[in-house]
Amino acid sequence: MRLFLFLLFATPFFVSAQPPSPIDGDWRGSIQIDGNELGISLTFMSADGMVDGSIDIPQQNAFNLPIDVTLLNADSLKFEFQTGTGTAEFSAPITRENPPAISGTFTQSGASFPFSIERNDRVRSNNGSELQENEISIELDGHTLTGNLVSPASNAKSTLVIFASGSGSRDRNSSVAGFEIFKKLAELLSDHGYHSFRFDDRGVGKSTGDVDATLHELGDDLVGIANYFINDHDSTFDHILLLGHSQGGVTSSIAAQNLSLSGLVLMASPTMPGDQIINQQVQKISEEQGVPDDIVEQNLEFQTRLYEVVREGSGWEEIEKDLEERLRAQIDELPEVQREALGDMNDFIQSQIDRQLEGSKSRWFKSFIEVDPGSFIADLDIPVLAIYGEKDSQVLPSPNITALRELNRPYDTEIIEIQEVNHLFQTANSGMPGEYGMLDREFNEEFQQALIDWLNSLVGVAD
């Protein structure tokens, strides 16, 4: 359980590359209560080394209830959620590394009942029909990428859209707070006659390779995938496009330099270097949380020092010392009961420092703050759709749209800002990342229509 929220300096929500937990994904099952089944649906997701998720109990009209994973190790799982009458807890043994099913005990108000859940890997399209999917493994230089090719049942437009995920190590469905972005996109495109390919990132799921890859290396992955469908796959496509969400737009722009594509879709993608993106996040989220201006300035100054250390590759000792001093000062302000809950203070502080700096010491992060996406977008001679959410707090629309317009690309660029949506293109209230799991796991209808209209116009067909 998360007993302490450390927000000393704003770590970017482009989370560091980490493998998912063995329970990540969608699960379906039931609780057996006095001979009756109470159906449940669960989604687990890992981020920044922690696992949480949500639960739906349709028979009780309960949806998107947040769950806390309190124990997850090689042989045990415990998770819980809060009800109107207290805590409801699930506990179960884990007997294999990636379990297809889990059975255990559900406990609430002193009563215990058996429960069982199974992985839910089947995908259905928006109109209720089963998607036609084919798993494909593509051998690249030293590693393998595996994903799903979705072929529409009818009205096929002979157009393939290859998805590129945002930062962090993501599986082919690109789940964020239980919302499987690429799974939903595959459904949407299939319903409108488009093929799509989504894949597990390096070192995730059935893909192999080092998860700590630079943006250029991830761009090379996209080149390899596109060339596979151009040269080696049985199907012949009239049009191949890349669609990148968030950081995926950057890697797609890099890959597009070495491909003959029909177009590029940038979904909430940066158009300026990562250090500027992070600083914009710091300012936006601090403003929403009411952080005093002087603290914001201190955090931005710390970020600047951090960028310099990352670029130079030295000076980590001073950064760690600074973090330790600030952490101790924060902890001293906590109530005694919270301080005691942290356990051994030195161990806790060191673990927090290690967790905060793990991503910053990666090869990925160095490339993220050094790569200028605009320099790659400016050189493209293909149509580009850049679509942003008005309430996005991770890739702020205004500065990125301004930077994109200043590129003065000679080729067609369509820029669309969808009102009232967040970084995931959900209809949102605040747009803050903490809200993602509380919203409907659906794309805003205006976003869906804008994407399909642009694709139809590009390939010259009516929907």
Does 291 or 126 have the greater pLDDT score? Answer: 291
Indicate if 132-273+371-459 has the same CATH topology as 25-119: no
Nearest to 250 by CA among 227, 226, 272: 272
Per-residue model confidence as pLDDT tens digits over 159-217: 999 999 998 888 899 988 778 899 999 999 999 999 999 999 999 889 999 999 999 99
Stretch 300-312: mean pLDDT? 93
DSSP for 309-339?
HHHHT--HHHHHHHHHHHHHHHHHTS-HHHH
Containing 418, the helix (H) or strand (E) segment is strand 413-418
Give the integer Cα–Cα distance in Å for 162 and 384.
14
The answer to whether the CB of 272 falls within 8 A of the CB of 376 is no
The Cα–Cα gap between 178 and 170 comes to 12
343 vs 424 pLDDT, higher one: 424
Nearest Cα neighbor of 18 from 43, 52, 50 is 50
The percent of residues in the chain predicted with pLDDT above 90, rounded, is 54
Of 12-26, 274-288, 391-405, the least confident: 12-26
How far from 221 is each of 258, 333, 337, 425, CA to CA, in Å? 12, 47, 49, 26
The band of 412, judged by pLDDT with boundaries at 50, 70 and 90, is: confident
**pLDDT for res 49:** 61
Q: Which CATH class is domain 25-119?
A: mainly beta
Q: What is the pLDDT of residues 355-377, one digit of tens each?
A: 778 889 999 999 999 999 999 99
Tell me how far apart the alpha carbons of residues 432 and 436 are, in angstroms, rounded to a whole number: 7
pTM: 0.76
Segment 52-69, tens digit of pLDDT = 788 888 777 676 678 889
Structure tokens at 234: 């049985």
Q: Would you tell me the crossing angle of helices 274-289 and 293-312 to the nearest 10 degrees? A: 160
What pLDDT score was predicted for residue 155? Answer: 61
Mean pLDDT for 109-128 is 72
Q: Would you call 325 exposed, middle or buried from its count of C-beta atoms within 10 A (0-12, 13-18, 19+)?
A: exposed
Asked if residue 13 has pLDDT above 50, the reply is no
State the DSSP code for 130: B
- The better pLDDT of the pair 130, 417 is held by 417
- How large is the average pLDDT for residues 256-267? 96
User: Is residue 8 very low, low, confident or very high in pLDDT (cuts 50, 70, 90)?
Assistant: very low
Q: Is CATH 2.60.120.10 the right assignment for the domain spanning 132-273+371-459?
A: no
> What pLDDT band is residue 24 in, cutting at 50, 70 and 90?
confident
pLDDT band at 234 (very low <50, low <70, confident <90, very high): confident
pLDDT number for residue 61: 63
Q: What is the pLDDT of residue 85?
A: 59
Q: Is 71 helix (H, G, I), strand (E, B) or coil?
A: strand
Predicted confidence (pLDDT) at residue 258 exceeds the cutoff of 80: yes
Structure tokens at 354: 């290690």
List of residues 6+ apart from 216 with CB closer than 8 A: 254, 367, 371
Task: State the average pLDDT for the chain.
Answer: 86
Provide, rounded to the nearest whole percent, the portion of the chain with pLDDT above 70: 90
When pLDDT is averaged across residues 326-335 and rounded to a whole number, the result is 81
Largest Cα span, the chain: 69
Residue ranges of the domains in the chain? 25-119, 132-273+371-459, 275-368
pLDDT at 149: 96
pLDDT at 442: 93
Does residue 279 carry a pLDDT above 90?
Answer: yes
Which phi and psi (to 5°) does residue 196 adopt? -150, 155
Task: Determine phi and psi for 365, rounding to 5 degrees.
Answer: -65, -40
For residue 11, give every residue at least 6 positions away whose Cβ sits within 8 Å of its Cβ, in sequence order, or none: 48, 356, 359
374-411 tens-digit pLDDT: 999 998 999 999 999 999 999 999 999 999 999 977 67
